[in-house]
Amino acid sequence: IINRGDSFRRRRSRSSSLAPVSPMHPRNAMAALNGGGGGGSSLGLGSNYNGGGSTNGFAESSAQDNHQPVEFYRVEMLGSQGVGKQALVSQFRTSDCINAYDGPECDEAEQNVSIILNGTESELKFLTGNPDSKEELEQADAFLVVYSCIDKESFTRAKQILSRLQDMDLLRHRPTILVANKIDLARSRAVSAQDGKCVACTFGAKFIEVSVGINHNCDELLAGTLTQIRLKKDHNLLQGPRDGSSPAHWYKSRSVMLASMKARQMLTWILGKEDSKFKHCENLQVL
């Protein structure tokens, strides 16, 4: 019995493809299985596979995959306990809604997610251990600072983490995203989106609101994290190495920046029009 209502897609174990993949009709897939006789547990159904009755299509697809370099990056998930860091990473690993509020918590401090973005495969290692030493933090390629929008204390903790990373001079060459989780609990909201944007702009970070409970903006955050890493990597290569002893005035005094952001926030409330700097911090596709 062949179900003609669905189509097969090439899928890797524990990977999320963010690029379009050409579908294959079930008849072609069954013909390949019957004619090939190879029978493995994973099938490399590439987009150039012609659906013939031999295994040449599978071998060619596998060979092409092996020749593609895989980029590896480390992403530190920082924030208070209970804000949903591990649940967020678990949501990254699946395309289905995991209903994080009812599901069991994951105790893994490291989880890998493989994704394909713009035709290039990358593997992100998400770490949720909250390291204390600068040496461990320096190994990260990006930071996701997570807080709960229904918990002011977690927001205060997020600001402290950003301040600490800035004092360590770790924000200049690494992308940082301030993530507000649990926005589906609108009636219990304690931190506004404008407050989050204000803090993100103060530290030169990006900002996004997500909800793991209803799988809102999780895919956008995953793709945006990888995009920010690649953009920052290219930007650092263009700028070249700098002397670590000189801060190069890449940011102003925190008090001055915070006062400036507060003034922009006040103008937003008065004029009813969002400031362009706040809009820019929400765009994860540009630096």
d(CA 217, CA 23): 25
Residues 40, 239: Cα–Cα separation, whole Å: 48
Whether pLDDT at 188 is above 80 = yes
Task: Count the helices and strands in the chain (H runs, E runs).
Answer: 9, 7
* % the chain with pLDDT above 70: 60
Residue 20 zone, left/alpha/beta (φ > 0; ψ -120 to 50; rest): beta
| Neighbour-count burial for 14-38, b at 16+ CB within 10 Å, e otherwise | eebbeeeeeebeeebbeebeeebee
- pLDDT at residue 39 is higher than 70: no
pLDDT reading at 172 higher than 50: yes
Region 66-89 average pLDDT:
90
In the block, tokens 């030169």 appear at 204
The model's pTM: 0.70
Residue that the structure tokens 């890797």 belong to: 12
CATH number of 71-241+252-281: 3.40.50.300
Grade residue 191 by pLDDT with cuts at 50, 70 and 90.
very high
pLDDT, average across residues 149-162: 97
What pLDDT score does 242 carry?
54
* Residue 67 confidence (pLDDT): 63
For residues 48 and 194, which has the higher predicted lDDT (pLDDT)?
A: 194
Q: What is the mean pLDDT of the chain?
A: 76
Q: What is the pLDDT of residue 146?
A: 98
The predicted pLDDT at position 112 comes to 95
pLDDT at 239: 80
Residue 141 confidence class, pLDDT cut points 50, 70, 90: very high
Which band of pLDDT confidence, cut at 50, 70 and 90, is reported for residue 184? very high
H-state helical runs in the chain: 26-36, 56-67, 85-92, 134-138, 152-167, 193-202, 218-239, 254-271, 276-281
pLDDT tens per residue across span 83-107: 999 999 999 988 777 665 555 555 6
User: Is the dihedral angle over the CA atoms 265, 148, 128, 221 positive or is it negative?
Assistant: negative
How many CA atoms within 13 Å lie on the side-chain side of 129? 13
Q: How many other β-carbons are positioned within 10 Å of the β-carbon of residue 39? A: 7
Q: What angle do CA 65, 67, 69 make, to 5 degrees?
A: 90
Query: Under a CB-based contact definition with an 8 Å cutoff, are residues 149 and 196 in contact?
Result: yes
The pLDDT of residue 6 is above 80: no
Chain centre distance of CA 130 = 17
Tens-place pLDDT, residues 106-127: 567 889 999 999 999 999 999 9
Whether 13 shows a pLDDT value over 50: the answer reads no
Domain(s) of CATH 3.40.50.300: residues in the chain:
71-241+252-281
For position 48, what pLDDT does the model report?
41
Tens of pLDDT, residues 215-252? 999 999 999 999 999 999 999 888 865 544 444 444 44
Residue 265 to residue 275: CA distance in whole angstroms: 8
| Per-residue pLDDT at 19 exceeds 60 | no
Amino acid 241: pLDDT: 58
Average pLDDT over every residue of 65-79: 86
**Whole-number pLDDT of residue 279:** 83
Give which of 266, 286, 281, 142 is closest to 202, Cα–Cα: 281
Q: Residue 133 — very low, low, confident or very high, per pLDDT cuts 50/70/90? A: confident
